[in-house]
Amino acid sequence: MVGGELRGLTKTLVQSRTEAAERLVQQARGRGANAVLAMRYDVTDAGNGTEICAYGTAVVLARA
């Protein structure tokens, strides 16, 4: 058979995305934010591996 899903790689990428998102939340909380707007992932080839970056705008939301 040719092709198909590389389940180990898929699992690693999902874990990496989750960790990147958790780090984003920690950074936002550290700056006093209670929400992140327009969250996105940036994935780049980093030579021997893949770099995953989560970014967004940390904000404080309040009821009007």
**Residue 64 pLDDT level (bands cut at 50, 70, 90):** low
Please report, to the nearest 10 degrees, the dihedral formed by the alpha carbons of residues 55, 56, 57, 61 taken in order: -130
Positive or negative torsion for Cα 43, 47, 9, 25:
negative
User: Which pTM does this prediction carry?
Assistant: 0.81
Euclidean distance between the first and the last CA atom of the chain, given in angstroms as a whole number: 59
Q: How far apart are CA 10 and CA 16, in angstroms?
A: 10
Q: What is the pLDDT of residue 30?
A: 98
Q: What is the pLDDT of residues 28-60, one digit of tens each?
A: 999 999 999 999 999 998 888 889 999 999 999
Asked whether residue 9 carries a pLDDT value surpassing 90, the answer given is no
Q: How far apart are CA 35 and CA 61, in angstroms?
A: 7
Q: How far apart are CA 59 and CA 37, in angstroms?
A: 7
**Residue 63 pLDDT level (bands cut at 50, 70, 90):** confident
